[in-house]
């Protein structure tokens, strides 16, 4: 079958995100053999290689890797933190300057989640201390993209459960079988005014190199917090094992063109935390702690 237009654009975006290397990110490499050879590698849609996910609102999150001189993310001798700054290009105003801690599960490429709050749309430059070059991020007005944002209400939709798969087969592509996070639909959780954590991911078909074991992390958290909030997993594709890569309705409702995405909302349905593209146990625990 021929993949639909949305799927093609989504796959192209994911390939671009996974394929960011020093050659794309670098704009000002030094030739001195003794200079630092690491640079920033974007693992998100920055507005240039794929449609931007960033708006002029608080809590924008950009996970970076460190790229070695051969153009691949480094996995050895990775520092515990890096110093980054974010500058609005048109005004020269620095809106963030600080230390970003290393994250990532064992066996997954380490990443550094930059969180910044641009007040205006425009182009922003991200630079790292002792890192080569810089990386640009495009920020747009919140009204220009459909992607769900911090502080908004969680968008309600019926999601596949054990009792009703809504023609999503399988309802979970976890390699060892269906996960337990399909007991309740998203709309039911919101109607009951329960704190809710929603993970949109497709474990068996993940295409990025830093997405990590997001589902496994959520499963462990559900075993601890089962009585305190609803934790729900939703797949990206309807029947991927049969080559039916049409996307599930949640993708359009949330305005996603990537995965994984973890969205956490309080009992009033207000979104308190969002983790896109990459996440580890520490970040997931902190996200869930915003509602429990």
Question: Is cis: bond before 260, omega within 30 of 0?
Answer: yes
Written as tens digits, the pLDDT of the chain (292 aa) is 223 333 334 434 333 344 443 323 333 333 343 344 899 999 999 999 899 999 999 999 999 999 999 999 999 999 999 999 999 999 999 999 999 999 999 988 999 999 999 999 999 999 999 999 999 999 999 999 999 999 999 999 999 999 999 999 999 999 888 999 999 999 999 999 999 999 999 988 765 555 568 999 999 999 999 788 999 999 999 999 999 999 999 999 999 999 999 999 999 999 999 999 999 999 999 999 999 9
Q: What pLDDT, on a 0 to 100 scale, did the predictor assign at position 211?
A: 58
Residue 234: strand, helix, or coil = strand
Residue 169: strand, helix, or coil = coil
Which helix or strand (DSSP H or E) is residue 276 part of? strand 271-276
Tokens of 166: 């809504």
User: For residue 222, what is the DSSP state?
Assistant: H
Contact predicate 107/99, CB 8 Å:
no
Residue 4: count of CB within 10 angstroms of its CB: 12
With both helix axes pointing from N to C terminus, report the angle between 281-288 and 214-225 in degrees, rounded to the nearest 10. Answer: 40
Q: N- to C-terminal Cα distance for the chain?
A: 45
Q: What pLDDT, on a 0 to 100 scale, did the predictor assign at position 209?
A: 54
CA distances, 205 to each of 112, 182, 258, 268 (Å): 23, 19, 12, 33
Contact predicate 154/269, CB 8 Å:
yes
Distance CA 118, CA 105 (A): 29
Q: What pLDDT, on a 0 to 100 scale, did the predictor assign at position 15?
A: 36
Q: What pLDDT, on a 0 to 100 scale, did the predictor assign at position 226?
A: 77
């Amino acid at each position: 079958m021929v993949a639909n237009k949305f799927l093609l654009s989504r796959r192209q975006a994911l390939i671009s995100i996974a394929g960011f290397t020093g050659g794309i990110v670098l704009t000002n490499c030094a030739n001195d053999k003794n200079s630092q050879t690491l640079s920033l590698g974007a693992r998100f849609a920055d507005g240039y290689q794929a449609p931007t996910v960033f708006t002029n609102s608080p809590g924008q999150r950009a996970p970076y890797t460190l790229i070695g001189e051969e153009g691949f993310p480094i996995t050895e001798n990775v520092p515990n933190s890096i110093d980054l700054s974010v500058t609005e290009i048109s005004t020269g105003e620095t809106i963030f300057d600080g230390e970003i801690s290393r994250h990532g599960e064992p066996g997954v490429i380490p990443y550094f989640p930059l969180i910044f709050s641009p007040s205006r749309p425009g182009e922003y430059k991200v630079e790292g201390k002792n890192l080569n070059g810089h990386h640009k991020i495009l920020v747009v007005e919140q009204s220009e993209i459909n992607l769900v944002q911090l502080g908004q209400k969680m968008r309600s939709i019926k999601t596949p459960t054990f009792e009703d798969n809504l023609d999503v087969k399988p309802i979970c592509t976890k390699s060892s079988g269906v996960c337990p996070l399909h007991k309740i639909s998203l709309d039911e959780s919101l109607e009951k005014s329960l704190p809710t954590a929603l993970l949109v991911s497709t474990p068996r078909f993940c295409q990025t190199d830093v997405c990590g074991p997001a589902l496994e992390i959520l499963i462990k958290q559900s075993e601890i917090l089962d009585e305190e909030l609803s934790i729900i997993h939703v797949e990206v594709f309807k029947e991927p094992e049969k080559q039916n890569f049409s996307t599930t309705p949640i993708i359009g409702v949330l305005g996603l063109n990537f995965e994984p995405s973890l969205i956490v909302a309080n009992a009033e349905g207000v979104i308190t935390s969002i983790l896109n593209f990459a996440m580890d146990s520490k970040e997931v625990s902190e996200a869930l702690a915003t509602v429990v």
